[in-house]
Every structure is written in structure tokens, then in C-alpha cells.
Structure 1
Amino acid sequence: MPNATTAGGFLATRWGGISLRYWIEDSAFAFAGLCLKALPIETASGLSGMLWRWLGPRLGNRRQRRALANLARAFPEKSTAEHEALAAAMWENLGRTFAETFRLAEIAASDRLTVETPPGYKSDESARVVCAAHQGNWEIAVLAVSSAPNAQPAGVYQRIKNPLVDARVRRMRGFLYPGGLYPKTPTTPRHLIRHARDGGTLAVLADQRDVRGPRVRFFGAPAPSTPFPAMVARTLGLKLYAGEIVRKPHVRFAIRLVEIPVPQTDDREADIIAATAALQAEFERTIRLHPEQWMWSHRRWDRA
């Protein structure tokens, strides 16, 4: 039986403990997926990109302002018009990524991506830590990890507030992470470290703000950054890699992995900070090459 709460109004009506609003959002999400999966993948990606390019700056005003502020910080030499053009292209990339998320299995089974790895990577069966940024279509970055034998990548994701949509998206992504896809919780690092210690590979998006992390240089300013990838690599003696994901025309992608040096000195904390700084510097290098493909709407610095 439905149970209408007094504070939340009609949309707070609950069926089976789930609010009506969540049911509506999940139904809309599922309908969007059906429509996008019914179209050729190039058409679906293009239409979604066009829609987000138009809607993003209008419906996401706070995020649009943040994106423009971040672009002005990162590229002070560019004009306001250039910042706005990059923000519009960023929204289009996000729209394309949204559509392609419904087609992850299709992309994974296709020849739509090329993977470039360092010498010996594809024959190395040891554990490793591979990091990527929210660039191109970051959902497929883990496929570079899987090019190595017995990689069994494990990853972490940020839960979506709507539990129905969260479960649906997790099912869409889950097959990419045979080692497990864990929600971001206080206990998740322990699961990931155990997986790496047992010989599995970690696949982590490591370009977001971490208020408790070291402040390393990113586009010329200190940015709170996650030390977790460097900490795991330094502690367990694993190799650390940064992945570059570049969107190409016609829903094609190029993924390139480069090794990030992890110092092994008597000062463990300094080693972790140095490796974290090197990782973020590599992210900056690749973002500068394709700034329209990075998610500038993140709150990356202390003030943004």
C-alpha cells in the first residue's frame, strides 16, 4: 500500500519503502535507455551530445558557473568566449558518455577502441594500480586494464542518490569489473587493498577533489588530490599507471597507459605525495591536449 508522508507531498509517497519520485526517475532513466539503445550507436551518441550541449548550461547553472571558473583558472590566456566554447563541448561530451553508458557491452565487444600500453604490460600477470580521469568516455577506461592476462580489475563508484537508478547503472557497469565494483564507503579501501594484495588489479578514477588528500599542483594551483592509488602502489610495491582516454569521431576511442614512477625511499609519506603529484601532472598533460573532453564542472580546487 502507498504511504504518503506529510512533509514531502505527493512525490514523497512511498511504495515498498521507495519514494514515488525515485520510481518516476528510474522509469524515465529506463525509457531513455530504451530509446538510446534502439538507435544506431553513432546516432544515439550524437543526439544525446546535442541535447546535453543545449540543456547543460541552462539546467546546470551552478555546474556551468563552476566549469567556467575552472576553465578561467586553468587557461587564463583564453578569452571568455573560448571558455564558453570549451564548456559547451564539455557538456556535449557528457551527453555522449551518457548515451554510450547504455551500450558499454557493445563497445567492449567491438573494435571501437585502440589500446596502447607500455612494453611488457600485456604479458605481465602481476597486480597493478591503473588510474584514469573523467575524460573522453571514462566508463571504458577499465578495458585497458583488461588487456593484461588475469587482471581481474576491481573498481569503486560513487553511489547515485536514487537507489533504483544506482542499481540499474551498477548492473550496466558491473561486467567490466570481474574483481568487484564497490560503492564508495569507509570500508571500500580495505576491500580494494585486499584485492590488490591477492594479485588483482585496481582501476580507479583519481582526478576528483579529496579534501583529506595532499595538495599537489594541478594547472598551476594546489589541488586536494587522492593519495590512495600512490599509497597502494607504494605500500604493496606495485606499478602505478595513468590512463589517457581520447574520444575520436564516430564513437571511437584511443586509450594510452603510461607508467608513473613511485619512489621507494625511507620517507613513505614523501614517496606517496611525489607519486600523487606525478599522477596529477600526467592527468594535466593529457587534459591540456583535449580540454573539451574533461569534466570541468567538478569542484577540483579548494575554491571553485
Structure 2
Amino acid sequence: MRRWLHLGERFLIGILRAVIPLLRFVPWRFYRVLGWFWGRLWWWADADRRRTTVENLRRAFPDRTSSWHWHIARRCYTNAGIVLTEVLSLAWLEEEEFSKRLQFLNPELFAECAARGRGLLLLSAHYGNWEWLACAAGLALRPLGIPVTVIVKQQRDPAVNRWLSHFRTRWGNRLVELEQAPWAIVRALHRREAVAFLADQRAAPESALWLPFFGAEVPVHTFPAAVALRFRVPIILGFALRQPDGRYVVPLEELPAMDLPDTAEGVRELTARYLRRLEALITQRPELWLWQHRRWKYSRPLLHATPLPTAS
């Protein structure tokens, strides 16, 4: 079974490589159609992920109808297909054109936080187009002379790793694998640089902090919060919101952290603030989040969770 899955992945990669040169000639308005196609292909080709997606939606939104769960699941796959198409377009898309398609609503926040001289933590999630968001952050910080290190998870297929790395580093971003992240983050912040991190997927349950997320207690990544409090580094939240015309806008906000102590409880509260903000965002537009991930593979009833402060 694994052998056939591996062959299938390589076949799909071959198709994608053949498609990349053709995207240059595809009008932007048809990217959504291509996204729908790739999303449907994934939908029908991977029954396990499809089942996981619907189960996740049922868990997160138990009061919604079954038809709503399936509708959002299909739209989630369309979003993933659009993200894939847009990532492929980085092979030819010029910087000027790219900057028109994703814009920060308040980019001055980068300079305001950087002026504190402690580096920057850029925190987001697998929401909207997170790959474009990382590229755009690198471009936005370049005039300030601030390099961006992006923490990434190694993919199973080396060919996919090389393929993604090519697109992710096109405009100067550096990549560090998750396993090497702790020291890389500390070194980058010591140089007063920026580190980008997606903290929404599950952490190792045996060593993680467990916090509420969509009605259950789940293991979460606390390293961004721990670093922010230890070194007093500002955290900037940003999520790429797709607009009706296909463009993205990114409102930036600083995640309040300076009122918290550098303690276990401080780390817990800061991580909880991120999760509350993320949950509210996903609730508004659930189709933009990557529900295919087995986020609740390890979970506990909220009955066993320690209550969290509600202040933000």
C-alpha cells in the first residue's frame, strides 16, 4: 500500500511540474477554477483525509448540520487547491505583481515592533494562503534590513521538500526544519531578525502543554510563547484573508504579551491567547483553515482541562 501511495505521489508531482510552465498563460480569474480541480482531485483520491476533514468539522461545530459539514469540507479542499495553484505560480510570478495580490493593511506595525530592537516573532496558521503570507512578510521586512527565518516541517518525500523549498526561498526567506528550530530561533532573535512560525497543528502529546481548542483539550506548541516571554520579543499575528476577487489582505496585530511574566503560567496564557484568536478567526471563515490535519488525534474532554483566564 505504501509503495502505491509513494508512486501516486510521484505521479502527481510529475503532473504538477508539467503544469507549472502553463500557469504563466492562465488568466488570474481562472486560478479559482484550477483550485477547484486540484481540490476535487485530492477529495476523491484520499478517502482517509476526506473522512478526517468531515470528522474534524463535526467535532468543532457539533451544532451544525451534516450537510453544512460536508459543504465546508468541500470548500476546504477548494481552498487547498487554490493555495497549491498559487504556490506553483511563484515559479514565474514577478515581485511587483505578487505585491498586488497580497497586501498588508497596516505594514507599519512591522517597523514599530522592530524598533524595540529585540527581533520579531511572526505567528500565523494554516489559514488562507500561509505560503504566500511568508513570502510577503519577507518582502515587507526587506526594506527594514530584517531577514526572515521560516520554521517548516520536513515532508515525507525529498522531492516535495526540494520543490517547496525552491518556492519558499525565492525572495530571500531562510528555512529551518522544525526539529532544529529552538536554537535557530534563538540565534535569529539574537541578531534581531524575524522568525515565522505556524503554531496551529498538534504537538507531541507526551511533552506538550494541553489547552482548550474547539471544545476539547489538545496538545499545543508553546515554544513561540516561551521565547517571546523569555526574550521579551513582540509577536505579530497575521492571517491571509482571501477576498472575492481572489486577492488577499492581511490585517496585522500584536498579540498582547508584555503584561505576562516569564513563567509557566505566563506561557500558558500567551499560548491560550493565540488559540482563542485563531478559533475566533476559523469560526468566521472555516473553509480557509486546513481541516485535513488530524488536529484532534490526541484530545481530552474539557472536563479535565484547567480553566483559562478569559482576558486578552
Pairing 1:53-132 to 2, within 5 Å after superposition: 53-104=39-90, 106=93, 108-110=95-97, 111-117=100-106, 120-125=109-114, 126=117, 127-132=119-124
Calculate the TM-score normalised by the size of structure 2: 0.82
Decide whether the 8 Å contact of 2:122 with 2:197 is kept in 1: yes
Q: Separation in 2 of the partners of 1:192 and 1:177?
A: 17
Q: 1:22 to 1:137 in 2, by over 3 A?
A: closer
Q: 1:129 to 1:71 in 2, by over 3 A?
A: same
Quick check: 232-241 or 82-91, which moved more?
A: 232-241
Q: 1:190 to 1:86 in 2, by over 3 A?
A: same
User: What amino acid is aligned across from residue 123 of structure 2 in structure 1?
Assistant: C
Q: Is 2:273 the partner of 1:278? A: yes
Any idea what SS the aligned residue of 1:159 has? coil
Quick check: 225-234 or 151-160, which moved more?
A: 151-160
Q: Separation in 2 of the partners of 1:267 and 1:121?
A: 24
User: What amino acid is aligned across from residue 112 of structure 1 in structure 2?
Assistant: R
User: What amino acid is aligned across from residue 181 of structure 2 in structure 1?
Assistant: T
Number of equivalent positions = 286
Quick check: 160-169 or 33-42, which moved more?
A: 33-42
Give how far 1:53 is off.
Answer: 3.7
- Residues 11-66 of structure 1, C-alpha deviations (whole Å, 9 max, x = no match): 9xxxxxxx9888756533311322334422332x2232221342233212111111
Q: Is 2:193 the partner of 1:200? A: yes
Any idea what SS the aligned residue of 1:129 has? strand
Q: For structure 2, which runs of at least 5 residues remain unmatched after alignment?
A: 300-312
Q: C-alpha root-mean-square deviation of aligned residues, in Å?
A: 2.6
User: What amino acid is aligned across from residue 158 of structure 2 in structure 1?
Assistant: P
Q: Separation in 1 of the partners of 2:257 and 2:65?
A: 38
2:216 to 218, 221, 224: 221
User: What amino acid is aligned across from residue 210 of structure 2 in structure 1?
Assistant: R
Partner of 1:256: 251
Give how far 1:161 is off.
Answer: 2.2
Q: Separation in 1 of the partners of 2:32 and 2:109?
A: 37
- Residues 200-257 of structure 1, C-alpha deviations (whole Å, 9 max, x = no match): 0111111101123211111122121111111111111111122121111333001112
Partner of 1:190: 183
Q: 1:176 to 1:69 in 2, by over 3 A?
A: farther
Quick check: 199-208 or 167-176, which moved more?
A: 167-176
Give how far 1:184 is off.
Answer: 2.6
Q: Separation in 2 of the partners of 1:290 and 1:177?
A: 31
Calculate the TM-score normalised by the size of structure 1: 0.84
Partner of 2:303: none
Q: Is 2:130 the partner of 1:138? A: yes
Q: Separation in 2 of the partners of 1:257 and 1:88?
A: 29
Any idea what SS the aligned residue of 2:208 has? coil
Identity within the alignment, %: 25
Any idea what SS the aligned residue of 2:196 has? strand
Q: 1:116 to 1:106 in 2, by over 3 A?
A: same
Q: Which runs of structure 1 show a deviation greater than 4 angstroms over 4 or more consecutive aligned residues?
A: 19-26, 263-267
Partner of 2:175: 181
Give how far 1:80 is off.
Answer: 0.3
Q: 1:109 to 1:204 in 2, by over 3 A?
A: farther
2:291 to 287, 290, 296: 296
Give how far 1:81 is off.
Answer: 0.2
Q: For structure 1, which runs of at least 5 residues remain unmatched after alignment?
A: 1-7, 12-18
User: What amino acid is aligned across from residue 191 of structure 2 in structure 1?
Assistant: D
Quick check: 190-199 or 90-99, which moved more?
A: 190-199
Q: Separation in 2 of the partners of 1:273 and 1:107?
A: 42
Quick check: 121-130 or 202-211, which moved more?
A: 121-130
